């Protein structure tokens, strides 16, 4: 038997719900779809000191391009290490 929660195909634990949806019910919150691992979360905002922005401008670098490059390098290193242990 599968969970009756929205967009869920996990096995039932109690009251027709999987473990995650059951805990939402116990907490009294609305039963929401479960976010799959790896789904994007929210846009990231990074605060950068003015001195760094000035140095980037002097070097002819766009802060958004530099941030994208840094995040891409971080992601590639994270992917090489494999999934995090929970």
4 lies in the same domain as 28: yes
**Are the C-beta atoms of 22 and 28 separated by less than 8 Å?**
no
Structural domain boundaries, residue 9:
1-36
Q: pLDDT at position 23, please? A: 95
| Percent of the chain clearing pLDDT 90 (strictly above) | 36
pLDDT at 86 over 60: no
1 lies in the same domain as 29: yes
Q: pLDDT at position 56, please? A: 84
* Structural domain total, the chain: 2
Give the pLDDT band of residue 62 (cuts 50, 70, 90). confident
**pLDDT average, residue stretch 7-18:** 94
32 lies in the same domain as 5: yes
Q: Higher confidence at residue 10 or residue 70?
A: 10
């Amino acid at each position: 038997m599968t969970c009756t929660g929205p967009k869920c195909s996990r096995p039932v634990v109690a009251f027709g719900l999987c473990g995650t949806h059951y805990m939402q019910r116990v907490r009294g919150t609305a039963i929401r779809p479960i976010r799959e691992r790896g789904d994007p979360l929210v846009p990231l905002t990074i605060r950068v000191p003015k001195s760094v922005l000035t140095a980037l401008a002097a070097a002819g670098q766009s802060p958004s391009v530099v941030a994208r490059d840094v995040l891409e390098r971080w992601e590639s290193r994270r992917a090489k290490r494999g999934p995090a242990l929970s």
